Amino acid sequence: MKQAYTNVCEAWKEKRIIEKEDGERRARWLDEICREIARETGSDADKVYKRMIQCALSKGVFKRLKSILKRERSALDYIEVPNETWYLDKNGDELYEFDNGIFVAHSSFEENLYEKYGSIKVPPKDVVVVEVEISDDVIHVQNPESIQQWTWTKVTKPEEMEDWLMRRNKRHLQQMYVEQSPPTTAEFEPFLAEHGTSSITDEILNGTLDLEDFDLSKEMKLFLKSLQQTPKEREMHIPGRMPREAFQEVMKIQNESTSSSPSALHYTLWKAIAEVDELAEIHSLWVSLPFMYGFICNRHKREIDCMLEKKPGERQIRIMRIIGLMEACWNAYLKWAYNKHVMPNAEKSGLSSNQWGGRRGRGAIACAMRKLMTWEYY
């Protein structure tokens, strides 16, 4: 214990010295990087050094401009939730139901009659409050001529805001169970056994499972049959082990100011770890263990759900954005696996050219822009 205390004191003294000599040490470090780049590229070290200085100056100017133009960030001090439950969109002929933080849109099939089944959708601003009567099969709007505008309550207590956040996320993520989709039924349980890694799953992918032995609808049998892998798809795989170089690459390009971790481990730590080959090797193996052997670190099971403004100054829960913050090291593996293996394999398997979102050159915004240009110019 005495020796450990002595080592801590020595480390603390060394830290103080480093803080005092921060400028000189950083200058030496940049000079080493400069000369290393010059050796690798065959360039003049002085020219490389000037380019590095110019880049640093430009980055500093950009940061100052960004701090001026971008409004100050702060924690949410309130959100707004609607007081009513049912809203009618007369233009779109849709009925909206407010349910635990989200809105569910119900389609019309006859005058003033709407389907009980609904899908999650953000209502327009010009909806009106209505009263409804719900029967076994339909929802009946009793006062479609209503002109009553919706009203909102401001929630300011942190515990109430957190409660709304959790209720909204739970309702949003349980949409499939609310709709009683086939994967949530008892008939589908055998196919999801062992988290989708059972022998039945292998038989589905190989096309050897006799679906007539299961009590499923014709549509579900056709769906499961369509999951049979082609010979080309069987050759594709996602490696469980993340290479050290991949871990270092992901951390190197990550913005250091990004919010990162439920355990308060900042990206600065991970970027520093990635610079040391031995430490990067250990952590790349650590985040790969769940995909190699099936067990996971408890720290990686936690995330922080955050509620953000999608539009500055608008705090209505209908247009708030929900994101989840995972551990930075765990997220590094997911980024690498998705970008380097999952999506390339998906592209090779023959994705439709009309499938947009999450694809290189086919983002959701690009799809919306393409649709807009098609309608406006053709």
Neighbours of 138 (CB within 10 A): 16
Share of the chain above pLDDT 70, in %: 90
pLDDT at 252 over 90: no
Average pLDDT over residues 42-62: 71
324 touches 305 (CB < 8 A)? yes
Return the pLDDT at 1. 59
pLDDT at 274 over 80: yes
What digits encode the pLDDT tens for the residues 349-369? 878 888 888 787 788 888 888
Return the pLDDT at 247. 93
Which of the 8 DSSP states describes residue 143?
Answer: -
Angle between helices 244-253 and 328-337 (to 10 degrees): 110
Beta bridge partners of 102: 99
What digits encode the pLDDT tens for the residues 154-190? 999 989 988 988 888 888 888 888 777 878 888 888 8
Long-range contacts formed by 265-271: CB under 8 A, 24+ apart: 265/327, 265/328, 267/328, 270/328, 270/329, 270/332
Neighbours of 257 (CB within 10 A): 9
Tokens 């000189």 sit at which residue? Answer: 24
Tokens of 210: 């006799």
Torsion angle in degrees (nearest 10) through CA of 98, 103, 108, 112: 20
145 versus 47: the higher-pLDDT residue is 145
Q: Is 269 buried (19+), middle (13-18) or exposed (0-12) by CB count in 10 A?
A: middle
Q: Supply the mean pLDDT for the chain.
A: 83
Return the pLDDT at 127. 92
pLDDT at 341 over 80: yes
Return the pLDDT at 268. 83
28 versus 301: the higher-pLDDT residue is 301
Return the pLDDT at 89. 93
Share of the chain above pLDDT 90, in %: 20
pLDDT at 222 over 80: yes
Of the candidates 229, 219, 220, 232, the residue with the CA atom closest to the CA atom of residue 191 = 220
Neighbours of 139 (CB within 10 A): 19
